Amino acid sequence: MHRHHHSENHRNDRIGWLRAAVLGANDGIISTACLMLGIAASNAGRSELLVAGVAALVAGAMSMAAGEYVSVSSQSDTENADLERERGELRDQPVAEHNELASIYVGRGLTPELATQVAQQLMSHDALSAHARDELGIHDITAARPIQAAVTSALTFSAGAALPLLTAVIAPPHLLTALLAGTSLFFLIGLGMLAAMAGGAPMLRSALRVGFWGILAMAITAGIGRIFGTII
């Protein structure tokens, strides 16, 4: 009897780096473009605009890296503490832990007899991994990786921030504001579509969501820049 295996293309293994990459690039485009639009609307010159853009890129990349590292490190510390606690319980109360794991499988639809057998076999193979996965919800593909998240966020923020900065460098002075807003919106929508494609999500919905918030953010900051530029 031959068993035929079919391949499945799941994307859960991309959750960690995809989240950090999309968040970093999206923030890079929006924050830098909004800052530069606000300054452009206040009638500042190109040199002031470029200085502000470079400063936004450097400061934003460092802020994203530090924020992601601290946040994901906290998650990693919590996961490690839970695993250490579980390791002690497995050592001191193996029967209770076996019953706890079996009850989880019963709750998922197995009969008590089968759940007991499954729990016994999984624990004999790797008790900590079984409890980490099914009791604590800690999986290898979603485990916290602080350095990876920090580096990914910093690099993708820089890449995203470089796009409106490049537009400000090459755009004619009389079209600077319009091109900065238009290209930034185009980049945001493209990023939303790429992220949706990589994650297997609907592209149109992702593009509209990113585009809406991008337009709103740029409109508000440009309006504030115009108001303060007029007052000052």
Q: What is the pLDDT along the chain (232 residues), one digit of tens a residue?
A: 445 544 444 444 455 556 667 778 888 998 898 888 888 888 778 888 899 899 999 999 999 889 888 988 888 888 888 888 888 988 888 899 898 889 999 988 889 889 899 888 888 888 888 888 888 777 765 666 788 888 888 899 999 999 999 998 998 888 888 898 899 889 888 888 877 776 677 788 878 888 888 888 888 888 888 787 655 4
Q: For the whole model, what pTM was predicted?
A: 0.68
Give the pLDDT confidence score for residue 18 in this predicted structure. Answer: 64
Give the pLDDT confidence score for residue 144 in this predicted structure. Answer: 65
Domains of the chain by residue range: 16-231
Cα–Cα dist 34/112, whole Å: 59
Give the pLDDT confidence score for residue 214 in this predicted structure. Answer: 84
Show the tokens assigned to 15.
Answer: 């959750």
Give the pLDDT confidence score for residue 59 in this predicted structure. Answer: 93
Closest CA to 50 of 63, 28, 32: 32
